[in-house]
Structure 1
Amino acid sequence: MDFYYMPGGSGCRTVIMTAKSLGVELNKKLLNTMKGEQLAPEFVKINPQHTIPTLVDNGFAIWESRVIATYLVEKYGKDDSLYPKDPQKRAVVNQRLYFDLSTLYDSFAKYYYPYFQTGKPGDAEALKKVENAFDFLNTFLEGQTYVAGSQLTVADIAILATVSTFDIVEFDLKKYPNVDKWYANAKKVTPGWDENWDGLLQLKKIIEEMTRTFPAAATSVVMDFYYHQGSAPCRSVIMIAKALGVDLNPKFCNILAGEQLKPEFVKLNPQHTIPTIVDEGFVLWESRAILIYLVEKYGKEDDSLYPADPQQRALINQRLYFDMGVLFQSFYQAVFPQIVTKKPPTAEAMEKVEKAFVLLNTFLEEDEFVAGPTLTVADISILAIVSTFEVVDYDISQYPNVAKWYAKVKEVTPGWAENWEGVQWLKNYMQSS
């Protein structure tokens, strides 16, 4: 059976260990999600959710690692020990599998993914979720050798894949004695452990490379930030601040209620626009100028987000001006009226949108990012705008290079979640007003 995977993926390693336990041979097909290979049309045809792991067993395609694991046991297991048929025993296994997905692994993603992307881990609340998850797991294992009963099950295998991922980032398991004892035993008794660990070592190398390429700037800066969550330019500033580790002191400015026209705000910014920042008395507006300023002041030397090389910088600047003068203008003329007045766009306005996306598609013909091989402030600014087109369900897939870039940049840009919350707010506002 064909198995689409990456060695470092926790879910992929779950399937590998389950298959090893069953003596099932997998025809492994490496799918490099870092390069966007999961978005290739031939893979999307197999799995429209374009996720790994994905299994194709004699034409039957299935994804989600825990589902794959239980499927393999039910179809190829010599007995039901890994996934018992008894309703109560199976219910406990299922509960632990859902716990792994929604609590344990989710806590890993919330706390450590920001570190992989910026060199700075998640906040104290995210760390608390990790600790709570391990407290739960420690409780489940009180007086137990295995997580869901008296024998090894797919729940142990899935949770082993997750816990071992915490291991490579040097999370202190010894604070949870039941987990620590279980982990030591699970490593010994689970078939495929060695391959699981090999995958983790490959993942560790990738993480080390990512943190070398994209470190966060150490700063305790806090600056006033006048914003509205519906504004794409404001959201671009949120994302760059997240990437740099700069703390913003948010000051909501309800432009829909005219708060930007209040005398105290006009005194700060006579153009009365958002976003506006106040950094130790220095006032600046226009999002793209803010992005550059924050990198130049708070980024590392020769930061890849806005490098010092004149040619690289010129290309980034060109894309920023394209964003403001072409892409954002097309949004303002075609989409903004739909949000505010409910008027459909004119044919001329939609033609400008299409021309803007055709140009962006051309820029992305050779490179993964809009201004070269690495993420820059141009990607972040354009990401904020492109994502806002989703408010009116604009079909980005008709521009394949843009669609591929969009899928990738959502994954690697710090602050994407906050950006998406703003997009959803705007969409809800449009639908309810």
Structure 2
Amino acid sequence: MKLYAVSDGPPSLAVRMTLKALDMEYQLINVDFCALEHRTEDYAKMNPQKEIPVLDDDGFYLSESIAIMQYLCEKYAPPNCTLYPQSVIHRALVNQRLCFNMGFYYAPISAHSMAPIFFDYERTPMSLKKVQNALEVFETYLERLGSKYAAGDDVTIADFALISATICLEAIDFDLSPYPLVNKWYTTFKEEYPQLWEIANSGMQEINAFEHNPPDLSEMDHPFHPTRKTKA
């Protein structure tokens, strides 16, 4: 099994945490984002979207971090594994949190934290408001569920996705204290799963380093870039 990943990419980090939690052996292949290795035709043979990460499970290529995490759990998790629970209702809640992260939580966080580091974007009151809105909704979910983790009292792959998004805020020194339940959830994960946090933290530290010393990627062809060229 091979995982094509980028060392500071939140989706890649979420998949790596899943592999670690499942105690699976795999080959980690670093994709050089700055060198545009994900934009090559060879990479497109694995993933026509030319996005990271991609899983190669003995010739079966799978992209999209959520699909990868679900696949790994469905195929390789031991019986009664709580990472992706079998209960229809509990699994539905995990899936909802994964969708929430993808469409409502990570998107504004990434636009506010990552895009200004790597591309010609600025942090604005509007981008900040979108992040605050996402955090307020997450705070509400945690309050209503009354659980330790995002979808219950056991950690799940939904937490891996949400943790990997939240590290982007820590990397830019964003204050989570106005969101006490989110802050507690984040701190609890660090304390209870230090080996998994080590994976997330490695990416967070890289993002933080880029925050203070941004790379020159002004010509990068990427969905975030305002002058992105559409390939025919």
Same fold (TM over 0.5): yes
Equivalent position of 2:177 in the other structure: 174
2:73 corresponds in structure 1 to 73
CA distance in 2, matches of 1:411, 1:50: 11
Identity over aligned pairs, percent = 31
In structure 2, give the amino acid aligned to 1:32: D
Q: Deviations over 1:355-384 (max 9, x none)?
A: xxxxxxxxxxxxxxxxxxx74xxxxxxxxx
Residue identity opposite 1:57 in structure 2: D
1:44 is displaced (CA, Å) by 1.1
1:202 aligns with: 206
Which structure shows the bigger proportion of residues in helix conformation? 1
Residues 24-82 of structure 1, C-alpha deviation per residue, up to 9 Å, x if partnerless? Answer: 11201111122110122221111111111100001111011111111111111113311
How far apart in 1 are the matches of 2:55 and 2:13?
13
The 2-side partners of 1:100 and 1:188 are apart by 22
Show structure 1 runs of 4+ deviating over 6 A. none
* Superposition map of 1:128-207 within 5 A: 128-142=129-143, 143-190=146-193, 191-207=195-211
1:223 aligns to what? none
Q: Any idea what SS the aligned residue of 2:4 has?
A: strand
Q: Give the SS at the match of 2:56.
A: strand
Confirm or deny: 8 A CA contact 2:170 2:204 kept in the other structure: no
- Aligned residue pair count: 226
Matched residue SS, 2:21: helix
* Aligned-partner Cα distance in 1 for 2:66–2:57: 16
Give me the whole-angstrom Cα distance separating, in 2, the residues matched to 1:147 and 1:410.
31
- Once residues 184 and 107 of structure 2 are traced to their aligned partners in structure 1, the CA distance between those partners, rounded to angstroms, is 23
Q: Distance in 1 between matches of 2:137 and 2:32?
A: 34
Preserved CA contact (<8 Å) 1:7 1:200: no
- In structure 2, the partner of 1:3 is 3
How far off is 1:410 after superposition? 4.5
- Equivalent residue of 1:171, what SS? coil
In structure 1, C-alpha distance between the alignment counterparts of 2:65 and 2:20, rounded to whole Å = 14
Which residues of 2 match residues 16-415 of structure 1 at below 5 A?
16-79=16-79, 80-117=81-118, 121-142=122-143, 143-190=146-193, 191-210=195-214, 375=218, 408-410=220-222, 413=225, 415=226
Residue ranges of structure 1 left out of the alignment (5+ in a row): 214-373, 376-404, 421-433
User: Closer, same or farther in 2 for the Cα pair 1:26/1:203, shift >3 Å?
Assistant: farther
More relative contact order, 1 or 2 (CA 8 Å, 6+ apart): 2
Change beyond 3 A, Cα 1:410–1:148 = closer
* CA pair 164-93 structure 1, distance change in 2 beyond 3 A: same
2:25 aligned partner, one-letter code:
E
Structure 1 residue 120: deviation in Å?
Answer: 6.2
Equivalent residue letter for 1:197:
N
Following the alignment from structure 1 to structure 2, what is the Cα–Cα distance between the partners of residues 111 and 121?
A: 8
Report Cα offsets for 1:234-271 as digits up to 9, x if no partner. xxxxxxxxxxxxxxxxxxxxxxxxxxxxxxxxxxxxxx
**2-structure distance, mates of 1:202, 1:125:** 26
Indicate if the aligned counterparts of 2:83 and 2:155 stay in contact, CA closer than 8 A. yes
Q: Secondary structure at the match of 1:51?
A: coil
CA distance in 2, matches of 1:194, 1:73: 21
Give the counterpart letter for 2:181 in structure 1: N
Whole-angstrom CA distance in 2 between matches of 1:136 and 1:114 = 22
Q: Is the 8 A contact 1:8 1:199 kept in 2?
A: yes
Aligned-pair Cα RMSD in Å: 2.2
Cα distance in structure 1, aligned partners of 2:119 and 2:29: 30
